[in-house]
Amino acid sequence: MFSLLRQCSRSVRQSLPPNSTFPSSCIAKRHFSRLPSRNSSAHIPSPTWRHAPKAILIVNKLRTQPVVLAIDALLEHVQTTYPGVRVFHEDRIDIPHGAEVWRPGPNAQKIDLVVTLGGDGTILHASSLFSAGAVPPVLSFSMGTLGFLLPFHIDDFAKALESVYLGKATILNRMRLACTFYDEKLSKKGNDGDDWQVMNEIALHRGSSPHLNTIDIFVDGQHLTEAVSDGLIVSTPTGSTAYSLSAGGPIVHPSLSALVLTPICPRSLSFRPLVFPSSSVITLRIGDRSRASAGVSMDGRTSHVLHPGESVNVQASPFPVPCINRSSIVESEAHHEGAGPGKEDDWVRDINNLLQYNATFRSKALLRHSRT
């Protein structure tokens, strides 16, 4: 191989004009340490969001005392620091004082920024409020729980809002799935006028039935296989660390656009998880030989029941969820465990802190025991 490279170099040198410099890019480097280093974050698309918000929607989990105090502090800060910004709250009984009522729908007030207070489930709920179109940028605050979608601790809300308002925040577009349900005659089921937007995953499962599901899988119209299993999961890269991971699926970086197909307890040991490009359309059809219907849950919420002959089409949604990155906010002096802003890739920190990725089996307790 190296002799071929030398011959190539010699022929290129001979073709150059006299006294010309041989381009260094053509020189084969044998030592990888001499190769130029690459910025570790360069491969992660993080567009900067430079629009100061004029309307903020607050979405929170059930109003416990810490949540009530956090909402009051957030409202007071916004009204004092950014008096021209309108604050809205989801249409519930417990509308906080100083906020306007917001109802989803075609005539809903345009929202520039969604602020969530709670856990990962709160963000999934916020995503579901914008199921018919584009989702505003989402700024997520943890209320004590750790999660993959919780980049900021609630104590850092002033600094995070300042960065957003000044246009310094970067966003990660987290892919969603568009799911369409059909009956046995390939007509849309019920009153499903629009596609269902899913941020984590759609799961077909046998529910309380003692029988395995028989599901035909089609990819871009081609029959892939007949799956006999407890169920199937189609997840986004964001959802790859949720239900899909528990079922044995791969971990996929959220900046990628892909569909992850993961079986749940398949009868065949050779049925392994698959990753498809985001251009693929996956169709899951309950087989005619299936002895049970399949329950359907999307982002952890039961939505449909599919009977033999009925199906669901799953494809990438044109409306991702733009999430504001933790790494785009200036690092604060007070660091909160698993939630403080930092310079490194949010995802790398999360799989190490939250999943204990590739942690050694030899825990500190075992090490202490081995010394005695």
Q: What is the residue type of 269?
A: L
Q: How far apart are CA 287 and CA 268, in angstroms?
A: 17
Tokens, residue 181: 């349900």
Q: Give catalytic status of residue 230 as yes or no.
A: no
With contact defined as beta carbons under 8 Å apart, do 230 and 223 qualify? no
CA distances from 240 to 158, 219, 259 (A): 31, 19, 9
Q: Which of 120, 216, 346, 350 is catalytic?
A: 120
| Per-residue H/E/C for the chain | CHHHHHHHHHHHHHHCCCCCCCCHHHCCCCCHHHCCCCCCCCCCCCCECCCCCCEEEEEECCCCHHHHHHHHHHHHHHHHHCCCCEEEEECCCCCCCCCEEECCCCCCCCCCEEEEEECHHHHHHHHHCCCCCCCCCEEEEECCCCCCCCCEEHHHHHHHHHHHHCCCCEEEEECCEEEEEECCCCCECCCCCCCEEECCEEEEECCCCCCCEEEEEEECCEEEEEEEEEEEEEECCHHHHCHHHHCCCCCCCCCCCEEEEEEEEECCCCCCCEEEECCCEEEEEECCCCCCCEEEEECCEEEEEECCCCEEEEEECCCCEEEECCCCCCCCCCCCCCCCCCCCCHHHHHHHHCCCCCCCCCCHHHHHHHHC
Q: How far apart are CA 51 and CA 70, in angstroms?
A: 25
Q: How far apart are CA 91 and CA 221, in angstroms?
A: 41
- Positions marked active-site: 120
